[in-house]
A and B are shown apart, each in its own frame.
Chain A
Amino acid sequence: MVAAAAAVGIRFAMGWTLTSVEKYCPFGGLETAYALIARKRFTCAAGELNLALFMALIALTLLARKAFCGWACPLGAVFEWTARLSRRVFKREAFQGLWIIPPKVDAALKIVLRSIVTALILAATWTTGELVFRGYDPYYILFSAHGHDVRNWSYGILGALLLLGVLVPLSWCKYLCPLGAVLWPFSAAGRLRLERSEDHCTGCGSCDRACPQALDVSEALGVRSGECTLCLECTAACPAPGALDLRWKGVAP
């Protein structure tokens, strides 16, 4: 999927079609929704595709949590690579990076920082009718091939975010991504989830160490967190067959 996303990104970036990569960003659907309701027209370059992808993404998230982030988001893939690099550089068993962030601080940062970023972007987009944050958006900077509004300092921002992604694994996804913030409540209500069987679990903690989101998979009977991307790294790392299973919430075994 990452390869497919990269191929599609390069295809559009090279100008083989008239379509820009930003039209494939589901967050653009939310950005343009206000303009569509209030003025019956789209915001800037956001259009039908953004809107339809955003609605489809909400439906997907209600079923399969943040599976989009774990399986399809090209930026998520890039930051996952920096997270893996971080694990090697700092010789960590888990995705901890340079500093081990206490769980309470981690939870607070997720709520506060992402809420601020999301509120700023939506307020600015809704009031100006323009996609004013293009030059700061790592997805657009990375995949638009020096698109409209990308300046030289934009690459500095991208570089800083990638470096931060090595120091604090998945820092963009966890603390800054506005789409992640919007999806979180829907993801928390997602029907598909990982469940742990106490009968089979040996308590080795392999699942905790494998989780890129640093969730405590072994602490509860099921992963309830809205941050779970269903990447299934935990099930792949689990040495005990039947200890971790993917199950539909509310459907009898």
Chain B
Amino acid sequence: MRTPHWVVPALVVLFAVLGIGGARLIAIPSVVREFAPAGSGPLRTTLLVVDGVKCVDTAERAANQFKEVPGVVRLVAYASRNRVEVTFRPGVTDVTKIKDAIEGPVYDESSKAYLFGVYRVVEVDGVEVQR
């Protein structure tokens, strides 16, 4: 069947839109870390968009930031979306402490030194963080 030439670029645009749109349907965590048993009692999950969480390694290092934070139960990071979901006990910790923990100095194994400004929280539960 004879086909007009505009069909070729139209197909390219169509499949680019399908690809970009389709990515929104897939959500596979880069890192899942359990810090404490969920147990009983209320839990809350906060959603952070973090500048610096961009691959599996940086997501792992971001998860390490919560090792010493009491009240943090679980962390799920989606590196490709710079997204970190932190589940915590509201009575023990809060969103401000969680934000401070992730933005705190990061210990670097290779240089045996603390690095500052590695992570920056851009958004908390859909609200942009004002600096």
**Residue from B11, B20, B81, B122 whose CB has the most chain A CB atoms within 10 Å:** B11
B82 at the interface (CB under 8 A from A): yes
One of A57-65, A90-98, A156-164, A169-177 contacting the partner: A57-65
Is the CB–CB distance between A45 and B55 below 8 Å? yes
- What is the interface size of chain A, counting residues whose CB is below 8 A from a CB of the partner? 46
Is the CB–CB distance between A232 and B8 below 8 Å? yes
B42 at the interface (CB under 8 A from A): no
User: In the complex, what's the smallest C-beta–C-beta distance from A1 to chain B, in angstroms?
Assistant: 7
Interface set, chain B 24-81, CB cutoff 8 A to A: 24-31, 49, 51, 54-57, 78-81
Contacts A67-B8, A192-B8, A232-B8 given; does A47 touch B79 at CB 8 Å: yes
Interface set, chain B 1-31, CB cutoff 8 A to A: 1-5, 7-9, 11-12, 15-16, 18-20, 22-31
Contacts A246-B5, A251-B1 given; does A47 touch B80 at CB 8 Å: yes
Q: Which residues of B contact A63 (CB under 8 A)?
A: 11
Is the CB–CB distance between A67 and B11 below 8 Å? yes
Chain A 50-83, CB-CB to B under 8 Å as 1, else 0, gives: 1111111101100110011011100000000000
User: In the complex, what's the smallest C-beta–C-beta distance from A54 to chain B, in angstroms?
Assistant: 8
Chain B residues close to A by CB (< 8 Å):
1-5, 7-9, 11-12, 15-16, 18-20, 22-31, 49, 51, 54-57, 78-82, 122
Q: Which residues of B contact A40 (CB under 8 A)?
A: 28
Is the CB–CB distance between A247 and B1 below 8 Å? yes
Is the CB–CB distance between B80 and A18 below 8 Å? no
- Chain A: interface secondary structure? mixed
3 residue pairs, one from A and one from B, having the closest CB atoms: A47-B80, A56-B19, A52-B23
Q: 12 A-B residue contacts at CB 8 Å?
A: A42-B56, A44-B56, A44-B57, A47-B23, A48-B23, A49-B23, A51-B26, A53-B16, A55-B19, A56-B18, A60-B11, A67-B11
Is the CB–CB distance between B1 and A41 below 8 Å? no
A232 to B7, CA, bound (A): 11
The residue in chain B whose Cβ has the minimal distance to the Cβ of A45 is: B55
Q: Which residues of B contact A47 (CB under 8 A)?
A: 23, 28, 30, 78-81
User: In the complex, what's the smallest C-beta–C-beta distance from A31 to chain B, in angstroms?
Assistant: 13
Is the CB–CB distance between A36 and B9 below 8 Å? no
A248 to B8, CA, bound (A): 11
**Residue from A18, A41, A59, A72 whose CB has the most chain B CB atoms within 10 Å:** A18
User: In the complex, what's the smallest C-beta–C-beta distance from A94 to chain B, in angstroms?
Assistant: 22
A67 to B3, CA, bound (A): 15
User: In the complex, what's the smallest C-beta–C-beta distance from A53 to chain B, in angstroms?
Assistant: 4
A192 to B5, CA, bound (A): 11
Is the CB–CB distance between B7 and A246 below 8 Å? yes
Is the CB–CB distance between A56 and B56 below 8 Å? no
Is the CB–CB distance between B30 and A247 below 8 Å? no
Q: Which residues of A contact B18 (CB under 8 A)?
A: 56, 59
A211 to B83, CA, bound (A): 45
Is the CB–CB distance between A20 and B54 below 8 Å? yes
Of A20, A52, A64, the residue contacting B20 (CB under 8 A) is A52
A129 to B80, CA, bound (A): 15
Q: Which residues of B contact A3 (CB under 8 A)?
A: none
A42 to B11, CA, bound (A): 28
The residue in chain A whose Cβ has the minimal distance to the Cβ of B32 is: A41
Q: Which residues of A contact B57 (CB under 8 A)?
A: 44
User: In the complex, what's the smallest C-beta–C-beta distance from A48 to chain B, in angstroms?
Assistant: 4
Contacts A52-B26, A232-B5, A235-B5 given; does A64 touch B11 at CB 8 Å: yes
